[in-house]
Amino acid sequence: MNELFGTLSDGTAVHRWTLERAGVRVRVLTYGGIVQSVEVPDRDGVAADVVLGFAEPADYPAHPGPYFGALVGRYANRIARGRFTLDGLTYALPVNSGPNCLHGGERGFDQRVWDAEPVAHGVRLSRVSAHGEEGFPGRLELAATYSLDADGALRIVYEAVTDAPTVVNLTNHSYFNLAGAGNAGGHELRIAASRFTPVDADLIPTGEEEPVEGTRFDFRAPRKVGSGYDHNFVLDKGVTDTPVEVAELHDPASGRVLTVSTTEPGLQLYTADHLADPFAPGDGIALETQHFPDSPNRPEFPSTVLRPGEVFRSETVYAFSLR
């Protein structure tokens, strides 16, 4: 179902698409490609919204920093000092998070209104990111398709092509709270990652990959999430052509389970320790499937370069079950 959700301050219309299948209801906005809500039942059959979001369109541009439910790009996560060099040319990007460029700059994909068209059990969002938008090179034509599988799993497929060499890293920035309310730090988390990328004081990777064994980053067996995380995990599976299960989040109280599968090589765990009114620190947990932070400046990391004639494709599946 497609409906008018409201308008932005400049009068631009924002539409909301509702997807429903197998007892799961997902609402997606054309503003920012935002996943506004995901309603799933608990073990008693009582449905609750398990992602953080807002009821009014104006609330999203009023709270841009946390990127609630947004489609993030052109480059998700951080690029050190807002600069990178590609084919001998250096590009300057907006510095919007300390000394770094974060999630695409001052006005990334999360603050753009996307075109939308229906697809089977879902919606396809598309837009053109012009050459030079937020400092990134290349005219990027991209699409993100949100659909529900037969079992109610939310599948997001990103695709893009460019007319000039560029870098691309896309993700969804939903904050999950499987209880539907309260602090999510008591959720149990498992991540199929034996290594993580340590960071400096500005949250930029040092370039190393360290083992999680014996550290607070070891989620190879399920345990409570807690707080204090904004780190990239090096997924054991690496880059894959089809989604592979990499993480599981479980709320023991409600019985809800979220399983994350992806083609991406990394997963950013963010425990939202800095959320503010109307939410509180730790009210949600972001599990951002992605390439690694600052990859354009780190040739040792999996490449995020996209060239003319190539097709960028990334796929992530969020599946829901009960335990």
Q: Which residues are catalytic?
A: 173, 288
Residue 173, annotated ligand binder?
yes
Rounded Cα distance between 284 and 270, Å, is 9
Nearest partner of 144 among 54, 78, 74, 93, judged by Cα = 74
Q: Backbone phi, then psi, for 62, in 5-degree steps?
A: -75, -20
Rounded Cα distance between 19 and 118, Å, is 10
Q: What is the largest CA-CA distance in the chain?
A: 59
Q: If 0-12 CB within 10 Å is exposed, 13-18 middle and 19+ buried, where does residue 282 land? A: buried
Q: If 0-12 CB within 10 Å is exposed, 13-18 middle and 19+ buried, where does residue 41 land? A: middle
Rounded Cα distance between 120 and 275, Å, is 35
Q: Are 158 and 315 in contact (CB under 8 A)?
A: yes
HSE toward the beta carbon, residue 22, CA cutoff 13 A: 12
Residue 149, annotated ligand binder?
no
Rounded Cα distance between 269 and 271, Å, is 7
- The continuous run of DSSP H or E covering 287 comes out as strand 285-290
Residue 77, annotated ligand binder?
yes
Residue 147, annotated ligand binder?
no
C-alpha angle with apex 311: 309 to 312, nearest 5 degrees?
140
Q: If 0-12 CB within 10 Å is exposed, 13-18 middle and 19+ buried, where does residue 294 land? A: buried
Query: What is the C-alpha radius of gyration for the chain, rounded to an integer number of angstroms?
Result: 18
68: CB partners within 8 A, 6+ apart? 34, 52, 53, 54, 60, 173, 174, 175
Which segments are annotated as binding site? 77-78, 173-175, 230
Which segments are annotated as binding site for beta-D-galactose? 77-78, 173-175, 230
